Structure 1
């Protein structure tokens, strides 16, 4: 195999996780190839939309701990660029304290924050309206505000990682290079793409919602469902109003999942507008090939109705609509899945995988974890809750 096609590690998937993994591998002097089926920094994977929420509240103490552990890695990434990667406006969780959703539960989050010594403020319904610009909320609603919450500039995050990797003598980036075949021969993997066949002793699989398109090449699949979530921007009618990042916990009403989340106004994404999205889908997809960039009109209507009834200082007509697709495991809490390939795959311990779940806030840390797993076979970070491949990977049918 010619030198330009032989690597130590091949990373399949060039989104935020793939670029972060390559960054951490290159810091450890590892010759790395990143293969992206589209172009880099695209809008076709889990990273559609250029903002993500950074938040510490979670109902599980191990998740709170993991977010705290990600902060030094965000600081390190920030040191590489003058462009702010986060706008720290705080995180607000509020709503019905008895509701349990895919995000968790407010009371459990308070307990987890206390256990991890994270400061937060409890708020009642009248404070939600007087301090945070919401209106017409049930008097029983409660919430918590955590000041370190932020809006992540995901595009700038990816650009920072991309430029580092592009300038590294150890990293090769190839786009429009979908993987069509993976074979294990002579103690290494041969990875076939339209740009040629490349070899490496180890693989990292981070194909986002396109996980099964890659996994099936190794004869396994992940138990996943796909959400194509509706999102829109709402014009500010009161320029002075700024919202934190927020999430509202409410029980569904009929086919309205009734759970929404929002972002502040940010300079990098339609200034003068704020983004609000539904945190439910009425009809999950069976495959990412079914995705559309046009949101479900009913989900969009429910979101706009929430904005009209419960938010102040905004024109409730949705603008700049889009969708964001995410692969979610069938694990009850829609957990991340971080593991090696299943044991029936040849050289399975040489294949590190991240698949499913919302992980924007973990981008720089997950790259480190995947690099650790690839080079050392283990990581000092506790991923025991996510190493569930034995349960959710099955042989390809």
Structure 2
């Protein structure tokens, strides 16, 4: 007889989406187990999967497209204060968020990601004030910064930096307080039974549940727990950390910076205002053009990428960008860290069933700032068995037919 502990739902993955889903399930009196490994102490000898939330800062703002993305982030943000109060974990820092975009004259074929008008319309729809800054306003408002000609800015003054490590800790703390069970293990097998499922951890422990939520992020296909792969691509990304002795000397907002010269994008990524990392030092974090250059398909490939520590060529690009932005600023040593991201063909998260017992949730590059709302939607979908939100479920459904046609 199987005497494994039994739950209504097992959430596989204890990152931002898994933690948020578990919290919202527990808040609705669902018996829930959330299982996932803790952050490894080092990466140079790493084996297995890796998470993208092992970091100190993600922007939470409305300067994004499409509108669905900004709506998810805005809904999450409205609950941040309550989550911080419930958990006792502060994971937000107020910040000005500045997006620098090539003007229509510089890049007439720019995609919607560089469409300032569309981003402004999104912000207006959500009731969030955003200032449009032409070249003269950029020079006036940010005299310490240097931007290329034919670039404009969008400024949100009430944005946040979200600490993804602390966000996960807050979600898990609230989930456990509401009755969820947290186990630090890695699920290696899902067995479908006549009634429910049994999941097995690398430790050999087993648990039973009526339903399973797969919240394994960029490793969703690599871990091999699904009956068929989800259409998505996993990338090994690089974060560059540049040390600063005194954060007060680095006078800049958090930025999304898209630099175009003669119609060619020369840099596109995040330049974060200084953040303090677990080693006690302050760093400016830059994630640039190589974000989607390194596709990975298996856990072995993920582990091998993590052990490299990231693409070292990104250091020179980062220092060049910072040198242009803040001429005369003194920078300390720079180093890389490995990161993981995933991209869906829809450009949006997935919240959908794989079978009658298994729901998959994938963030699609916007995990931290929108995680709480994605987790809420997932929990409601799992509990009720139907889609109840004003955003059509079709926005989050997995395009299985497209994947099969491409195979």
Q: Same fold per TM (> 0.5)?
A: yes
Q: Does 1:74 align with 2:80?
A: yes
Q: Does 1:361 align with 2:335?
A: no
Judge conservation of contact 2:276–2:283 (CA < 8 Å) in 1.
no
- Aligned-partner Cα distance in 1 for 2:82–2:319: 38
- 2:378 paired residue among 330, 346, 370: 370
Listed as ranges, the gaps of 5+ residues in structure 1 are: none
**Residue 161 of structure 1: CA displacement?**
2.0
- Aligned-partner Cα distance in 1 for 2:18–2:112: 25
Secondary structure of the structure 2 residue equivalent to 1:182: strand
Secondary structure of the structure 1 residue equivalent to 2:220: helix
The TM-score normalised by the length of structure 1 is: 0.86
Change (3 A) 1:368 1:381: farther
Judge conservation of contact 2:9–2:209 (CA < 8 Å) in 1.
yes
Map of 1:17 onto structure 2: 17
Map of 1:243 onto structure 2: 252
Alignment of 1:175-324 (within 5 A): 175-177=184-186, 179-194=187-202, 195-214=204-223, 216-235=225-244, 239-251=248-260, 257-267=266-276, 272-281=282-291, 283-287=293-297, 288-292=302-306, 294-312=309-327, 314-324=329-339
Judge conservation of contact 1:239–1:272 (CA < 8 Å) in 2.
no
**Residue 118 of structure 1: CA displacement?**
2.4
Judge conservation of contact 1:226–1:326 (CA < 8 Å) in 2.
yes
**What is the RMSD of the two structures over their aligned residues, measured on CA atoms?**
3.1
**Residue 307 of structure 1: CA displacement?**
0.5
Secondary structure of the structure 2 residue equivalent to 1:351: strand
Q: Does 1:340 align with 2:353?
A: yes
Change (3 A) 1:352 1:328: closer
**Residue 126 of structure 1: CA displacement?**
3.8
The TM-score normalised by the length of structure 2 is: 0.84
Alignment of 1:94-133 (within 5 A): 94-98=100-104, 99=107, 100=110, 103-132=113-142
Give the length in aligned residue pairs.
387
Listed as ranges, the gaps of 5+ residues in structure 2 are: 44-49
Map of 2:33 onto structure 1: 33
Relative contact order, CA 8 A, sep 6+: which one is greater? 2
- Aligned-partner Cα distance in 1 for 2:256–2:245: 19
Judge conservation of contact 1:14–1:40 (CA < 8 Å) in 2.
no
Moved more, 12-21 or 220-229: 220-229
Map of 1:61 onto structure 2: 67
Q: Does 1:45 align with 2:51?
A: yes
